Amino acid sequence: MRVRATIFRGMFFFGITFSSLCKQYTYKDIVLSIGGFESKNSFISYVTIDGIQYLLKQKKTPSKQFSVVRDALAAWIAEDLNIAHHVTIIGPNQDFPGKKNVLWPATLHTIAPGKMVRAQPESKYYKLGLKQRIPEAILPMYNRWLTEKIIHQMTWHRQLPVIIGLDLFICNTDRHRANIFYDPATDTFCAIDMDNIFRRDLPALACEKLHMMIDQGKKFTTKEIQALVKMRDTLMFLHNKYNPQMLIEKLHYFVVQAGFTQDSPLYTKKIEKKIIRHETTIMQSHESIKNLIITLNKIIYGY
């Protein structure tokens, strides 16, 4: 990570709305840019709106710009679970303090409490391994996707089964220790940077893994069963609330916000294919969740 030594402080008038559970918060005030840094893939800036600090993120390369759509969609889906930050898209051709390329979209994020678990070596959660994607060439099927290790680690904290349930629903394969924050003061987690979603049918893979465990005679502990119940309940809640049509409509809502319209230079054949592929995965994964819930019930009630 390369930290920028200079701090830019600008002033900008802007109106923006964040949706948080059932409340609407509207900020129409001076926006101040108070510094930032560069990560491997993004420009990160800190801004204040109405005296409250937020994080502005913009991907560096053209091929990564569609990630703002996925990040906003995932945060919108996660709203009722109270385990994630909130994300708003700053559109292309819209000037904003800290935005490096005015022609590209960016995302504005609420600040996650605590620190990334990767930065807490003294914590038990430093060893979390919730990532549901490891290349096949490295590990065989039984050590990839929804693993026995992940199921065991879900027992460590009441919010972890909810986070894994969310990841399964949005097909997020990239839950690593840098995009999950833990706050020891409140004993709570916050999921961030969910821009790797609906790219493969993750519930189908999870269902396959659970059947593999059943066939091998896996004995789940009482705590693991309790965690699976909470994960199942999260899946059922999201599955009942968000049907494929709603998700696809919201996908297109954020696509427009991010400027990927046919009259825009950002719109390409590759973007068109991405949108279609995400629509297909949304529909496929929604069906797969039904089978995953059935499989979870077999485990929970005894198979």
Given this model, what pLDDT does residue 101 score?
Answer: 94
Given this model, what pLDDT does residue 280 score?
Answer: 98
Please state, in angstroms and as integers, the Cα–Cα distance from residue 223 to each residue in 154, 157, 194, 206, following that order. Answer: 9, 11, 27, 19
Plot region of 288 (φ>0 → left; ψ -120 to 50 → alpha; else → beta): alpha
Mean of the per-residue pLDDT values of the chain? 88
Please say if the pLDDT value at position 76 is more than 70.
yes
Nearest to 227 by CA among 158, 166, 279, 294: 158
Residue 194, classed as helix, strand or coil, is coil
272 pLDDT tier (thresholds 50, 70, 90):
very high
C-alpha span between 65 and 71 (Å, rounded): 11
> Euclidean distance between the first and final Cα of the chain, in Å?
48
33 pLDDT tier (thresholds 50, 70, 90):
confident
Structure pTM?
A: 0.89
Question: If 0-12 CB within 10 Å is exposed, 13-18 middle and 19+ buried, where does residue 235 land?
Answer: buried
